[in-house]
Amino acid sequence: MRWVLYPIAALLALAILGLATLAAVSLFAWPNLPSLESLTDYRPRIPLRVYTSDGHLLAEFGEERRDVVRIAEVPSALKHAILAAEDERFYEHAGVDPLGIARAALANLTSGGRGQGASTITMQVARNFFLTREKTYNRKLYEILLALKIERELSKDQILELYINQIYLGQRAYGFAVAARAYYGKTLDALSLAEAAMLAGLPKAPSAYNPVVNPARAAVRQQYVLRRMLEAGFIRQTDFEAAIAVATPTRSQRDTAVARKQHADNIHGEYVAEMARQIAVEQFGEQAYELGIRIFTTVTRKDQEAAYAALRKGVTDYDRRHGYRGPEAFASLAADSASDEQLDEVLAEHSDYDDLLAAVVLQATPKQVKVYRRGEEITISANGLRFAAPMLADKAPQARRIRRGAIVRIRDNGDKGWEIAQVPEVQSALVSIDPRDGAIRALVGGFDFNRNKFNHVTQGQRQPGSSFKPFIYSAALERGYGPGHVVADEPLYFPAGVTGSQAWEPKNYDGKYSGPMTLREGLARSKNMVSIRVLEDITPQFAQDYVGRFGFDSSKHPPYLTMALGAGSVTPWELAGGYAVFANGGFRINPYVVKEIYDGNGKLIARTDPVVAGESAPRVLDPRNAWLVDSMLQDVVTHGTATRARSLKRNDLAGKTGTTNDYLDAWFCGYNPDLVAVSWVGFSQPRNLGRGETGGAAALPIWISYMSAALAGAPEVQRPRPDGLIEVQAGDGSRTDYQYAEYAPPEPPLAPEWLRDMFASEDGPALEAPEEATPSFAPRPPPSAQAPAPVVDRIPVPIRR
């Protein structure tokens, strides 16, 4: 019997020695364990989130996507799934499960390695907060000790709540609340039993069991969790059978496609979100990405989506007018075949831009093109090739021809099928504001934020062209002009001695002249000669000072006659604020994009308090001036350069087109009393847009498309005529117009009573009124016309229209 007792005694001695060693190590290690303050005062890193004014998420900024939920908010199905997958005896052990350790040790001894762990949920919390994931016995010892310490200071529900909020689950999702949204587009309480089991299976290996990336392995893990839930008595057999029936790779792909579609359908507010992010970082530094700050912007989902769609369509239409340029690049493919892995590697270098998807051409003929994209071969023919047809022809240059290995863009055109497209090179911008307080309703700073992050709305300093003329005409009204005042639309010439540099002979856009016309007609038809003559009369110096009241930087509008043609520098943001003064009746407001900021606890920490037209905003324009300019800008829409806008079938629209010299910039600035919108089209590095690409042709369609959605269902608003205006006959006799009362033609003097009686007598003498008493009804010249305008020192190279 001794030979039997010796081994047992030896094992007992080793066990005692091991326990003694463990006790000694623990005795020395325990005092060195870290404080649990980070657990008792749990402050996870929650990303900065930016929302629309109506509560829709625009963007998240931060390395970790996380939502903190209380344990009471976690449905029992998810809690049971987590316990079944990770720690069935969680509510029974004291932080360390001896049975689990023994089972893992036996498995590791059998396999000769350390592959299987025995971590309880408490031990995983200890590791996630305080330790690394290295597999060493020393780290495991500290993990065990920390778990025991955590169990002494926190309740079981507190520990489980920390685990549910802290654990990483793939897709940049930290915690189950964000994972539910990331994978299924749902809140926790909306998860099905099968979906809860899928999420509960992720902590073991988020990358390996990711249902988006690897639905087959994810389904196997999902089925395992469901079986463990049944064995533990957490669910009934009927519940198990119903859930296991949908725990398949196919169902996994279908269910998680909901989240993928939700991601694809995100509101395109990247430029707005970036503006909000910059404001947050300025206020809170780099901690802005961890404090759970929520920023509510002023944009609405309806307006933002309408603006994005309008801009994309307008730019795409412009791009198609100018033809297909050819493939973006070429990849070397074997003549016979190429594996999906090789093709995927080629496509990895070419990002998608919303619906413009990158694809590799496998075969190409003038009648059919076969492309590869993400494991799928797509055949494009008929109308889908129309745009790219010139580069499929035999005579197409080799460097631009669509052939095998070409990288092209494809787009799903709905019922019309797939088509070959291209990423436009031209840029555009659209911004809309509420003229009452300056709240930005929509803002799109470029065609695609992921391709070009430069915000053309706020950063793009460009020449405004004729879209600046209304501010010059407004200045003229303050110097005695009226809309019916007649000015000559005739050629002008300024010799070098006058300009101080080279001779200048400005022209109208179409090179034609119409002779004398009213200011109203000159603005509607965007006549450059009329604008120049008016500015020459009121003086560029006066106009430069005057435009400052609209919020423009006067220094960017030099006091030369070319100011009449918009030769200065503005951003769409500034133009929107300027036109708002006409839209709101003469008040200067300040455009703003951030409405409110909340901290991680939901406490309001900042709110914009805007000035409001008619209340706190300063009046910078005589209400009569605003009304007269508005009436002239309405004529631009009804019978001027913006008649396309009549398609909206509204009678409260006003605006002005603008096209700079050599077609470098195309603008349309327009509004009704409730909404101002400015659209711009041009290249980031200015170059010719192409002949005929005017504000009315390139920018106005974008404005119309946006306004048709933004004003849908909104009643028409007509602004009442203010006091202080009188009716006068337009100088060309074309219509009755209005003018400031103090600048109106004088009434004829009344004759003496005895003279009136004499003329009233039937047999009285036929007397003629004395020459000096003959009334003159000619328009009264503006005060500035009584003295010659100063000669300008220098006139820079002009722009037109």
Q: Supply φ then ψ for residue 594, to 5 degrees.
A: -105, 125
Whether 38 is catalytic is no
What's the confidence (pLDDT) of residue 501? Answer: 79
Torsion from C-alpha of 555, 559, 561, 565, nearest 10 degrees: 20
User: If 0-12 CB within 10 Å is exposed, 13-18 middle and 19+ buried, where does residue 497 land?
Assistant: exposed
What's the confidence (pLDDT) of residue 163? Answer: 92
Tell me the whole-structure pTM to 2 decimals.
0.80
Closest CA to 489 of 535, 528, 537: 528
* Cα distance between residue 632 and residue 654, in whole Å: 8
Chunk the chain into consecutive blocks of 10 residues (it has 801) and report each block's average pLDDT, rounded to whole numbers.
Answer: 53 52 50 59 80 93 84 95 92 82 62 58 83 59 82 90 91 89 90 95 89 87 95 95 91 73 73 97 92 96 97 98 97 84 89 94 96 91 96 93 96 93 98 98 97 96 98 97 96 83 90 94 97 97 98 96 96 98 98 96 94 98 98 97 97 97 97 98 97 97 98 95 93 86 69 50 42 33 40 35 37
Chain-centre distance for alpha carbon 306: 11
What's the confidence (pLDDT) of residue 451? Answer: 93
Whether 86 is catalytic is yes
* Cα distance between residue 457 and residue 455, in whole Å: 5
Closest CA to 531 of 545, 541, 517: 517
Please report the DSSP string for 41-91 in residue order. Answer: T----B-EEEE-TTS-EEEEESS-EE----GGGS-HHHHHHHHHHH-TTTT
What's the confidence (pLDDT) of residue 201? Answer: 94
Task: Tell me if 801 sits within 8 A of 658, measured CB to CB.
Answer: yes
CB atoms within 10 A of CB 230: 18
Q: How does 279-290 read in b/e, with b if 16+ C-beta sit within 10 Å?
A: bbeeebeeebbb
Task: Tell me if 775 sits within 8 A of 748, measured CB to CB.
Answer: yes
Task: Tell me if 294 sits within 8 A of 597, measured CB to CB.
Answer: yes
What's the confidence (pLDDT) of residue 23? Answer: 52
What's the confidence (pLDDT) of residue 208? Answer: 82
What's the confidence (pLDDT) of residue 192? Answer: 94
Torsion from C-alpha of 180, 185, 191, 192, nearest 10 degrees: -120
* Cα distance between residue 18 and residue 27, in whole Å: 14
Q: Which of 53, 64, 86, 270 is catalytic?
A: 86
Q: Which of 252, 428, 432, 466 is catalytic?
A: 466
Q: Please name each of the domains of the chain with its CATH number.
A: 64-264 (1.10.3810.10), 325-421 (2.40.50.140)
* In 156-220, beta strands by DSSP E: 173-174
Whether the CA torsion 76, 79, 83, 86 is positive or negative: it is positive
Instruction: Please tell me what DSSP assigns to residue 96.
Output: S
